Chain A
Amino acid sequence: MSAALALGDDALVLSHRLGEWAGHAPVLEEEVALANIALDLLGQARVLLSLVGDEDELAYLREERAFRNLQLVEQPNGDFAHTIARQLYFSVYQHLLYERLAAGDGRFAELAAKAVKEVAYHRDHAEQWVLRLGDGTAESHERMQAGLEALWRFTGEMFQPIEGLDAAATTAAAATADAADATDASATTGTAGATGADGSGPAVDWAELEGAWLSAVTATVERATLTLPTGPRTGAWAAGAGRQGLHTEPFGRMLAEMQHLHRSHPGASW
């Protein structure tokens, strides 16, 4: 499995879910904001999937078991608080991950550097809403807390190492003696990132990433006068199942809707 597929599927699937909000948002500004985030994610998905193969074949002709996205992003929208909880968990993760990828010199560095600006906005949007819903009315507080609780179990899988991402991102860093020089080195050598399929040692320190994620999410949740959920974080199967193509039931229905027109006209171009 390629890391591009995993990250691309995350973006593709979450973009689709956000697209379902069109025409249903609580206020016009959110129609614009949710569509904007969906579009950013779709743009990222198209770049990432194109690294793997034909974007449309990958999006429309794979079956459920071949998708590598997190279970978190395939979860149905629920109410606005549910959507915002999903967005908080994922955007903070994606922001921290892309920051790290952008700072490295793997083959995702350039892509991540561009996407991280978009994702910083997504994260801010989610955090601002968590604050407003958590510290708004009694009803919004309750709904926001319920959203955080419901999706908490899907957060563990984000920190299962993604195979391929490490190797590709790490080679140049391993080749340079000093980590501080890594950026300069890649700028001059240029090809370093593309070579190392079997580099040693993870460029993304997943445990460190998880720690950063937990503290960021905790800070937002507490500022919002909410409580960090305490339940298990293993997902519907064992943690990391989504990355292995093991998904939750609503996902198949989502794909059926997404793919049916494309599949009804084999070989057609649009």
Chain B
Amino acid sequence: MAAVTADQKTQSTSGTAKAAGTEAGPAAGTAPEAADAALLAAFDAAVAADDRIEPRDWMPDAYRATLVRQMAQHAHSEIIGMQPEANWITRAPSLRRKAILMAKVQDEAGHGLYLYSAAETLGTSREELLDKLHAGRQRYSSIFNYPTLTWADVGAIGWLVDGAAITNQVPLCRCSYGPYARAMVRICKEESFHQRQGYELLLALSRGTEAQHAMAQDAVDRWWWPSLMMFGPPDDASSHSAQSMAWKIKRHSNDELRQRFVDICVPQAEALGLTLPDPDIRWNEERGQHDFGAIDWTEFQQVLKGDGPCNEQRITQRRRAHEEGAWVRDAAAAYAAKHTTPSARTAQPAQPAQHVEETA
């Protein structure tokens, strides 16, 4: 397995991989520009035909960089996203809920692993991506900069945050880059399960004692707007959208997905017996969709900039876990070096993975 991975890395970074979805590579002796044009044409044709781009296929540098940026951010979100929920593992109010929450946080670590692996097919490495996260050079979802103040927040995260994530991610199951799309199929299945559990947690609170109901309502009040911000800036202010849609990395605009999410949530909130903290939400007969109030984009920008309630805490804990774990990783590497047979050792990748500079 290790050899295969190393091979893929070498291939994907060599720049000589075959053109996407076609056997027609550039003819020998063709000028470089013409060869590039042929590769690009084959790539564009593959994307247009809804073929999957695979690690060994040729792809434009910008496509590669965009994917690395997006997949890294996605992976980082999974592992930073463990923190707000792990905050309640030791205080979960029943053993059943504790087991569900532990399993969920474990799944998130697993999703991080899938996504880092998928990103590595593009010629980067998990270590490199983590270093960038720790240095503040790559982002994670802004939602995880909000604190979990009560047990009900665990339910609100499941229902709203996972709900928004699923709305965003289901279209990614058809993303043009194969490894990403396949990772998303697995992730979306597990996320849907988590979302149902979060909803069910809130339902139990909403139908519980007065204090529990109030706890649930307070959590929904605090998480509603940040969840809507998860879809990103409005379409007219989204810098990456057009290109990502052309490449079929993205399939729907931010505002389209946000609208879809609101339309899903309104009846669910009613069924929960909870209200959404937006007096402007109402059904619009003409549009066949819900109207809703204006998002506070100033707050969004502030959180993105690093000035949200928990930005500092999240990244500090993440860095600390990594730094305090360094001696453990060193030990594992030293042990492996001592106990690996010489033939197995030569199968390790000889060169470090190529550095991919993202445009974040």
Contacts of B335 in A (CB 8 A): 131-132, 135-136
Contacts of B95 in A (CB 8 A): 12, 42, 45-46, 49, 55-56, 59
Could you say which of A28, A49, A79, A137 contacts B334, with CB atoms under 8 Å apart?
A137
Residues of B within 8 A of A (CB): 79, 82-83, 86, 89-99, 102-103, 105-106, 109-110, 112-113, 116, 126, 151, 201, 204-205, 208-209, 211-212, 317, 320-322, 324-335, 338-339
Q: Are B93 and A265 in contact (CB under 8 A)?
A: yes
Indicate if A181 sits at the interface (CB-CB under 8 A): no
Tell which of B98, B126, B339 has the most Cβ of chain A within 10 Å: B98
Q: Are B327 and A270 in contact (CB under 8 A)?
A: no
The 9 closest A-B pairs by CB, nearest first: A26-B325, A136-B331, A140-B331, A35-B106, A31-B109, A22-B86, A26-B328, A23-B86, A132-B335
Indicate if A16 sits at the interface (CB-CB under 8 A): yes
Q: Please name 13 pairs of A and B residues whose Cβ atoms are closer than 8 Å in the assembled complex, sorted by A.
A: A31-B109, A38-B102, A39-B99, A43-B99, A55-B95, A80-B328, A135-B335, A139-B327, A140-B331, A143-B327, A268-B208, A268-B211, A270-B204
CA separation between A258 and B113, bound complex, in Å? 29
A:83-110 near B, CB below 8 Å? none
- Known contacts A35-B102, A135-B335, A265-B211; A29/B93 CB under 8 A: no
CA separation between A269 and B211, bound complex, in Å? 12
Q: Are A32 and B208 in contact (CB under 8 A)?
A: no
Q: Are B327 and A23 in contact (CB under 8 A)?
A: no
Q: Are A23 and B317 in contact (CB under 8 A)?
A: yes
Indicate if A257 sits at the interface (CB-CB under 8 A): yes
| A contact face: mostly helix, strand, loop, or mixed | helix
For chain A, which range describes its interface: under 10, 10 to 19, 20 to 34, or 35 or more residues?
35 or more
Q: Are B82 and A258 in contact (CB under 8 A)?
A: no
CA separation between A20 and B90, bound complex, in Å? 7
Q: Are A137 and B109 in contact (CB under 8 A)?
A: no
Q: Are A258 and B91 in contact (CB under 8 A)?
A: yes
CA separation between A55 and B110, bound complex, in Å? 29
CA separation between A12 and B338, bound complex, in Å? 37
4 extra interchain contacts, Cβ-Cβ under 8 A, other than A19-B89, A29-B113, A270-B96? A31-B109, A38-B102, A132-B335, A136-B330
Indicate if A180 sits at the interface (CB-CB under 8 A): no
Q: How far is the CB of B167 from chain A (nearest CB, A)?
A: 25
Q: Are A257 and B91 in contact (CB under 8 A)?
A: yes
Q: Are B102 and A27 in contact (CB under 8 A)?
A: no
CA separation between A246 and B103, bound complex, in Å? 32
Contacts of B333 in A (CB 8 A): 136
CB nearest neighbor in A for B113: A28
Could you say which of B97, B211, B328 contacts A27, with CB atoms under 8 Å apart?
B328
